Chains A and B, each alone.
Chain A
Amino acid sequence: MASTIRVRAVAGAETTEVQSLIQHPMDSGFVKDANGQLIPPHHIEVVQFEHDGKTVFTALWGPAVSKDPYLKFSFKGAKKGDELKVSWVDNKGASDSLIAKIQ
């Protein structure tokens, strides 16, 4: 199954810019489905980015983050070819991770 995580990490002179898009419904628990039943909350809680064994970014998400959530940040100390590990876990305990190559 293709990964739920898409990452674009580009090493610049100073910093590496990271963009990520994760395939996830991010249900808030306030929306009703076609026959009027509330869809239970189902959203990612924690997203972690690691480079060279060190956490470079952690996102803590509530139900107000959009579906197929997007994130952009940048950090220092990485170079082209390095690996960037991305992992997430949601409120149902589901998770996924991916190792991306920094361009």
Chain B
Amino acid sequence: MTFPDVAPCGRRTALKAIAGGVATLSLFEASMLLPAYAADAKDWPADAFKQKSEADALKLLYGKSAEPSDKVDLDAPEIAENGAVVPIAVTSTLPNVTGIALLVLENPYTLAAAYKIPQGTQPAVASRLKMAKTTKVVAVIESDGKLFTASKDVKVTVGGCGG
């Protein structure tokens, strides 16, 4: 099930897309169809960000489960310099990427960030995340409607001396 092309974003194509069975799409995916002119809080999948497990977060976010793939490249440090600012970068050679998500499994809420990748945008993103403790970090790529993951372990401890 590939996403209806949002651009050019004429009323007719948008309406046809919505008529085309929005019921099967989760709220998150449906909201991708509507053009938004500024960041809109309604786009934010609050429930997905409250989940404690990877599977639950992905179920709410994409409505499906994921499988590992070597076509997803996750760059994360082996030992985090500081758990408050951990540089993370993910890229993929998979086709038609429409979404990327980053999960930090040992954080109180596993989903750290999700990104919508419209047509014409490269399947790669870099960011800086917070990690509560030593954890597995999972990158999820949504390609042709299916989810593929790569993961890395990041050691996180308190920095510095005494106190």
Contacts and interface: CB of A to CB of B under 8 A. Distances in A.
B126 A75 contact: no
B130 A66 contact: yes
B131 A60 contact: no
Nearest to B114: A60
B23 interface: no
Interface of A: 15, 26, 28, 30, 45-48, 50, 53-67, 69-77, 85, 87-89, 91, 93, 95, 97
Contacts of A63: 49, 109, 130
Interface in B114-131: 114-118, 120-122, 124-131
Chain A interface SS verdict (over half)? strand
A73 B124 contact: yes
Given A55-B36, A64-B131, A66-B84, A89 B41 contact: yes
A71 B120 contact: no
19 contacts: A53-B9, A54-B6, A54-B9, A55-B36, A57-B115, A58-B116, A58-B118, A59-B114, A60-B44, A61-B113, A64-B112, A69-B127, A70-B127, A74-B122, A75-B121, A87-B38, A89-B38, A95-B38, A95-B39
A87 B40 CA distance: 9
Interface of B: 6-7, 9, 35-41, 43-45, 49, 84-86, 89, 104, 107-109, 111-118, 120-122, 124-132
Contacts of B6: 54-55
Nearest to B31: A58
Given A58-B116, A62-B49, A66-B85, A72 B128 contact: no
Contacts of A50: 37
A73 B132 CA distance: 26
Nearest to A15: B122
The 7 closest A-B pairs by CB, nearest first: A64-B112, A72-B126, A58-B116, A66-B128, A45-B44, A75-B121, A48-B39
